[in-house]
Chain A
């Protein structure tokens, strides 16, 4: 089902450390390379992996076309958000006409919980996203993942939605990539979450072209 791509395609993944943003970016990279594409991912590993803000840049394109591990503001074709606050925080990376796909999860940072910073409401966050992309796709990813018995696999639900909309990678390539990265039962439930994401996208008719 791979449609392939002729030019470099930039994805920004916004998440909170521990939500699986890095696994998501790595899954896309493995799948893309197995489909003969070139990839680069740029992310900062380290302490932010644990409950800090995590921004991953994923770039794929024809061989030798992708060079930089990151891209600059205004260059993301799509933003995949695993959390609403972090998605809004990274809006500057989205290109003119770029697409937003986000999980409807909100994780207030400690700074907000202890009252040193104000936390915008969920409506404000969603409003900020839809003011940029009126057709922003907001996915009940945690619930979908919960229903396939792995609340930690919301990242894979988002991958399903992403791939159903953009269709750059074949399902086989994605599923193999998931199983390469995640051993045993985690891999199985992650594949189930990925498929559930595809199904949700189809049922909710968010499928493009």
Chain B
């Protein structure tokens, strides 16, 4: 929900009484689930599609007596949650798929030490991929880390399964992964609320080295045996608690095994095909370890099996192994026989087509519409009007020329954040965007590899705090000649404007010690440092040119607030307007900025959409005729 405000208690998703029915997004439902399960410490690093869990708790959960704050990265977040849990507090750590990679080191060891208070990890995968760099399937990670993993299929289950995860975690003394996909995290659905529970805080911590001391210790083998024993108990504990997250629907000779959001596609596809009987649907909520007894029983008597799942053929391979062990040989369809694709999201129609082939019923004609539409210009997301990154990259590109280099001989390494959008025309700025912090290390690596031309790394402030610090340390220590530009918009912008370590008060009102970028950068021992407002394009271009020619690790902090955040906080004080008389239609402004508030009008002149302009003035900087003028609001 938009905006920070006080909602009447009866519709506040975290405070409304049990039994209330609300329209909640999956992530809001998970936030409610945390309140219903007595979780005390909630932490994570922002990442689509996981961010709204913490954002919801921060917005609507004031005075709920929970600790809900962002951490500097996912590894630290997981370790904070683990520390809380071994002391008996209940905790939740949230992250997107690549965040799991950052946190994987402590997670794997946590399976050996286990927890005392519940530790739930929300891992949000992204079939599509819609906003993520890869289609990483974290069900394999659960298998690698040997952590019990469950998955919901809709917002109601997303809420309810937080509690299931908490119960499982405390019974098994293991962290439990709640694995979701974007279509559950970001779907709004009707959710019936349950009763809330008092948060569970620190109880005590006893010294117990075999549990909590890892590196190379003789007892690690024993802990591994303990872990394997715990994993064998998962299905039994769920049954004993009367929790049915694995369900069988219908009966018949054809068995469809499915999980998460795809369960909905299967059910609706069968409806569309008009298939009322002869099909048995096994909905798997327990992803790891696989619910062997449930699957064995559910698949008994099946003539053929179709596995419908997104991302990798994880369940398909699980079912194959299981049936092989049982000595059963039947046809298993899914991804390995190309019935369904190995990549991308599924939808109802794709599933209906697949099922129609296996079951042998035709697809209804109404689903076969095709429409001719005129060719349309694509609309990839651009940098917002007034975005400071636009100014920074314009200055960087100018600086490269001023220093006497061609644009195509100075690679600009990018990093994760809105500024990656500078890859699109007309800026065509960054050359790479890889993983958090990699701009600095990859640029340094290219120098080490023997490139004698300059290299530039561009990285956002929060990404720098997250993973850029060790990379910069490495570059300084190895005396690499490079230019690092920290694009400091003072916020984690791309994921919805979360706090960074430079804030003095967090979203919840907690007083924090602001950690200043320039202090950190100086302490790392860089050779030259300048702090610049990127909207002073010429000044910044001059410093870029100068630093490109100076040896050493040179850093520019380009500091200007995120325009979207600024507009929300302060409103727009002035906008720019094109004078159509003066405009000669050269398009220098639009080609120079790519500002989405600008367009070409019917007469071939540049024009600005008033309500989209934030008044940065960059377009005016490019105009050779001075045709773009500031108009101040009263």
* Residues of chain A whose beta carbon lies under 8 Å from any beta carbon of chain B: 16-18, 23, 25-26, 29-30, 32-34, 37-53, 63, 66-75, 85-86, 88-89, 91-92, 94-96, 107-120, 124-125, 128, 132, 151-152, 180-184
Question: How many A-B pairs with Cβ below 8 Å?
Answer: 200
B381 CB contact (under 8 Å) in A17, A39, A66: A17
CB closest residue in chain A, given B610 = A151
Bound complex: CA A111 to CA B130 (Å): 21
Bound complex: CA A51 to CA B7 (Å): 29
CB closest residue in chain A, given B387 = A50
B183 CB contact (under 8 Å) in A39, A47, A70, A113: A70
**Beta-carbon contacts under 8 Å, B481-501 to A:** 494-495
Chain A residues with Cβ below 8 Å from B600 are 108, 112-113
Bound complex: CA A116 to CA B352 (Å): 38
Taking chain B's interface residues, is the majority helix, strand, or loop, or is none over half, making it mixed? loop
Contact A39 B23 (CB under 8 A): yes
Instruction: Identify 14 residue pairs between A and B in the complex whose beta-carbon atoms are under 8 Å apart, listed by A's number.
Output: A32-B23, A38-B189, A39-B190, A68-B264, A70-B348, A73-B369, A85-B376, A89-B376, A94-B371, A110-B425, A110-B594, A112-B600, A118-B377, A132-B371
Q: Does B11 contact A (CB under 8 A)?
A: yes
B190 CB contact (under 8 Å) in A23, A38, A75: A38
Chain A residues with Cβ below 8 Å from B349 are 72-73
Q: Does B378 contact A (CB under 8 A)?
A: yes
Using known A-B contacts A67-B267, A70-B348, A89-B373, determine if residue A42 contacts B183 with beta carbons closer than 8 Å: yes
Using known A-B contacts A89-B373, A183-B3, determine if residue A111 contacts B379 with beta carbons closer than 8 Å: yes
> Which of B190, B367, B426 has its CB near the most chain A CB atoms (within 10 A)?
B190
> Which of A47, A91, A152 has its CB near the most chain B CB atoms (within 10 A)?
A47
Contact A44 B373 (CB under 8 A): no
Q: Does B347 contact A (CB under 8 A)?
A: yes
Chain A residues with Cβ below 8 Å from B379 are 16, 51-53, 85-86, 109-111
Q: Does B430 contact A (CB under 8 A)?
A: no
B377 CB contact (under 8 Å) in A23, A70, A108: A108
For the complex with contacts A74-B366, A108-B377, 12 further pairs of A-B residues with Cβ separation under 8 Å are: A26-B188, A40-B188, A41-B187, A41-B188, A47-B494, A50-B381, A95-B366, A107-B599, A113-B590, A113-B598, A128-B374, A181-B1
The 8 closest A-B pairs by CB, nearest first: A52-B381, A72-B349, A117-B377, A74-B369, A67-B264, A69-B187, A109-B379, A46-B131
Q: Does B253 contact A (CB under 8 A)?
A: no
Contact A120 B374 (CB under 8 A): yes
Bound complex: CA A102 to CA B425 (Å): 29
Bound complex: CA A128 to CA B48 (Å): 35
> Which of B377, B421, B595 has its CB near the most chain A CB atoms (within 10 A)?
B377
Contact B382 A46 (CB under 8 A): no
Using known A-B contacts A50-B564, A70-B348, determine if residue A91 contacts B382 with beta carbons closer than 8 Å: no
Chain B residues with Cβ below 8 Å from A44 are 128, 130-131, 182, 186
Contact B190 A18 (CB under 8 A): no
B376 CB contact (under 8 Å) in A41, A46, A73, A120: A120
* Residues of chain B whose beta carbon lies under 8 Å from any beta carbon of chain A: 1-3, 5, 7, 11, 21-23, 48-49, 128, 130-131, 154, 182-184, 186-190, 261, 263-265, 267-268, 347-350, 352, 366-371, 373-382, 384-385, 418, 421, 424-426, 494-495, 564, 587, 590-591, 594-596, 598-600, 609, 611-612
Bound complex: CA A67 to CA B368 (Å): 21
Bound complex: CA A38 to CA B598 (Å): 41
Chain A residues with Cβ below 8 Å from B494 are 46-47
CB closest residue in chain A, given B21 = A33
B591 CB contact (under 8 Å) in A69, A114, A125: A114
A67 CB contact (under 8 Å) in B3, B154, B385: B154
Using known A-B contacts A108-B599, A114-B594, determine if residue A88 contacts B264 with beta carbons closer than 8 Å: no
Report the minimum CB–CB distance from A59 to chain B (whole Å).
10
Bound complex: CA A69 to CA B265 (Å): 9
Chain B residues with Cβ below 8 Å from A23 are 2
Bound complex: CA A7 to CA B494 (Å): 38
Report the minimum CB–CB distance from A29 to chain B (whole Å).
4
Contact B382 A51 (CB under 8 A): yes
Bound complex: CA A183 to CA B149 (Å): 39
Bound complex: CA A180 to CA B9 (Å): 12
